[in-house]
Amino acid sequence: MSGVAVRNIPRAGAADVEALARFGVATLHEAQGRTGLMKPCMRPIYAGAACCGTAVTVIGHPGDNWMLHVAAELVRPGDVVVMTVSADNGDGMFGELLATSFRARGARGLVIEAGCRDVGELTRMQFPVWSRAVSAKGTVKATVGSVNVPIVCAGVAIHPGDVVAADDDGVVVIPRLRAAEVAAAAAAREKKEQETRRRLAAGELGLDIYGMRDALAKAGLTYLDEPPSET
């Protein structure tokens, strides 16, 4: 089961990444047609964590974090490392030492479909991690995986160089070639929502703002003035 590590990958443009970084994950997911969202088991290790960058992808073996060391060398400033494992595993594959290395190399964060440890230290460092588990369980360095190949992480297919955005709501992947288009759609969406927000705050109803009353009636919703008597 030998693996490969790819040194140079095409990355989404820095301007597009910065444009995307202004939006939350929920907005980006909607702007992209409700696609690209990782499963909700992926949670930030501290409240308020947020990051956006280009993906360096990693696939490893359960209980083995060797490939994260390989990834550290291939990271460029602005990257987010995204790792999956060949089988469900929650071991603490990443901690404060690797975070020190990742930060020194310019990584903005880590998304890992496995476990994370040293979460107290990482919180103090404000190094953001999204993982499916927190565990002090250490790992071996025995079996080779791959870096910068296409992977599936938490239910989403991701290519090296795609954009990864993450916040309190989860993690979304924007394909490299769609970055500009999705940033534009997100901006349009957010602009429209400002007006909606103002009207909702004033007490107007979504039923009226979105014109839902007819569709509800047609779909069979009946209003009653009082509860029906129980049978």
Integer-rounded Cα radius of gyration of the chain: 21
Q: Which of 21, 22, 78, 143 binds its own copies (CB under 8 A)?
A: 143
Q: How far is the CB of 14 from its own copies (least distance, A)?
A: 20
Q: How far is the CB of 4 from its own copies (least distance, A)?
A: 5
Q: Which of 53, 63, 109, 128 binds its own copies (CB under 8 A)?
A: 63
219 is an interface residue for its own copies by CB under 8 A: yes
Q: Which of 14, 18, 48, 184 binds its own copies (CB under 8 A)?
A: 48
156 is an interface residue for its own copies by CB under 8 A: yes
Give the max Cα distance, the chain: 71
Q: How far is the CB of 13 from its own copies (least distance, A)?
A: 15
Q: How far apart are the first and last CA of the chain?
A: 65
Q: Annotate 35-62 with b (16+ C-beta within 10 A) or e (fewer).
A: ebbbeeebbbbeeebbbbbbbbbbbbbe
Q: Which of 14, 18, 126, 157 binds its own copies (CB under 8 A)?
A: 157
Quick one: 19 or 84, whose CB is closer to its own copies? 84
- Taking a C-beta distance cutoff of 8 angstroms, is the pair 92, 139 a contact? yes
Query: Which x/- pattern over 167-206 shows residues binding its own copies (rule: CB under 8 A)?
Result: xxxx-x--x-xx--------------x--xx--xxxx-xx
Residues 6-35 that bind its own copies (CB under 8 A): 6-10, 24-26, 29-30, 33-35
Residues 71-110 that bind its own copies (CB under 8 A): 72-73, 86-92, 95-98, 100-101, 103-105
Name the helix (H) or strand (E) containing 59: strand 51-60
47 is an interface residue for its own copies by CB under 8 A: yes
What backbone phi and psi angles, to 5 degrees, belong to 166?
A: -145, 140
Q: How far is the CB of 109 from its own copies (least distance, A)?
A: 16
Cα–Cα distance measured from residue 162 to residue 165, given in angstroms and rounded to the nearest whole number: 10
DSSP 29: H
Dihedral in degrees, nearest 10, Cα atoms 195, 199, 205, 206: 10
